[in-house]
Amino acid sequence: MLNFFRRKKTEPPAPKRIRDHKLGPGILDASALKVIEVLNTNGFQAYLVGGCVRDALCGVKPKDFDVATDAPLEAVTKLFRRSRIVGRRFPIVHVRFGRDLIEVSTFRQSISDKVVHDDRGMILRDNAFGTLHEDAFRRDFTVNALYYDPSNKEIIDFVGGVDDIKAKNIRFIGDTKTRLAEDPVRILRAIRFSAKLGFTISEDILSSVKNTAKRLEAIPPARLFDEFLKLFLNGYAETVWRQLRETPLANALFPSCDPMSPLALAAMRNTDDRIFNGASITPGFLVAVLLWDDFKARNDVRHSDDDDPAFAALKSQQSSIAIPRRFGTFARDVWTIQERLHKRNVRSLDRLVTHKRFRAGYDFLCLQAESDESVRACADWWTDFQNANDSEREALIAQLPKTPRKRNRGRNRRKAAAQNSASTGTG
């Protein structure tokens, strides 16, 4: 492929070297510092880079630590026993220290025949290695192109990232249209960083949202599932969804979902609350919420028992975001348990309460009740039932409408035939 979007290679200015940065102790991750120490000892440059530096400057404790170095990937794997090269588009090295995983990347350049683009400018493969200067200018956002040198405790800033952090501004390095053409997922990253840090996205990025949303169709659905996890399972899902639903991006990710659905917003808020309180979360629950309307519509028009609306809804979604089977199964269980929660069959109440997805199904019902008055009485009944003692449960069950017992027509026909045979003396 031709390198369609070539930028002019210019001599980069000398970086700012900042020592008065007030980075907290959160940046001093023992495993990451050990990686840098080993690389330095063997004659290589190595720095902390990207999100860990950005977050530490913003007062947010970093979760992941990345190291950038001039060491070739193969040299890195020889220095660390528990390491391996991963990735096809952007090969890096994973180095393990106990449970810690440190990502080590070799400095790259963006202007090279080894950077392969498609005919619209999207990067298909990047094996062009370069210098520290070149590595800084090929990164996406200014706030992500900061390097921290622990040996002299200074930040190296080529692109004004520290100033943008102070101004709380998200902007690209270089031309916005080119950077989004190289990787449309960067629009989702901009929204994620904005929600996480409370930063403002620059107008030139926002003006490119519509065109970029369409281009997300070219991104592998499995990669978009990884972005889905980062967007919605890190404690700021409600803020992210409020931004996405005002753009075509929400439907680019979930084509069958109504972005303005009160249920979707309530689920995002509930997910954030659970993360804040240390409760368990699963992507399957959000999948159940975001595909609920599609499942219901398909279920309402099913023509036979052979139709499987849950399978159809999940299959339709796979072309946008690939949902792993275990999370699809979780969503299916949440959907199918809703009918049982509404019917409240007296003879199967005990079995239903012990169902492995009962709690998730009940939580789903309660979220619906927040915006749907017709569901509220049922949700309240189940809340009372779970908190009730035995006598109180009997009273709640007595409130339920009596369901007529189904007759066993086959058995009745056989009984009538036997009686008729006896009366006529045949058989």
Catalytic residues: 64, 66, 140
- Strand, helix or coil at 282? coil
Cα distance between residue 6 and residue 115, in whole Å: 10
Instruction: Select from 371, 201, 194, 338 the least CA-distant residue to 270.
Output: 371
| CB neighbour burial string for 275-308, b if at least 16 within 10 angstroms, e if fewer | beeeeebbbbbbbbbbbbbbbeebbeeeeeeeee
Instruction: Select from 422, 418, 398 the least CA-distant residue to 410.
Output: 418
Q: Is 44 left (phi over 0), alpha (psi -120 to 50) or beta?
A: beta
Cα distance between residue 345 and residue 307, in whole Å: 24
Q: How far apart are the first and last CA of the chain?
A: 85
- If one counts every other C-beta atom within 10 angstroms of the C-beta of residue 36, the result is 24
Instruction: Select from 234, 177, 233, 241 the least CA-distant residue to 209.
Output: 177
CA angle 323, 205, 235 (to 5 degrees): 45
Structure tokens at 39: 């690389």
Cα distance between residue 321 and residue 252, in whole Å: 9
- If one counts every other C-beta atom within 10 angstroms of the C-beta of residue 101, the result is 13
Q: Letter for the amino acid at 225?
A: F
Contact 221, 253 (CB under 8 A): no
Measure Cα distances from 240 to 36, 232, 243, 249, 259 in Å: 34, 7, 5, 11, 12
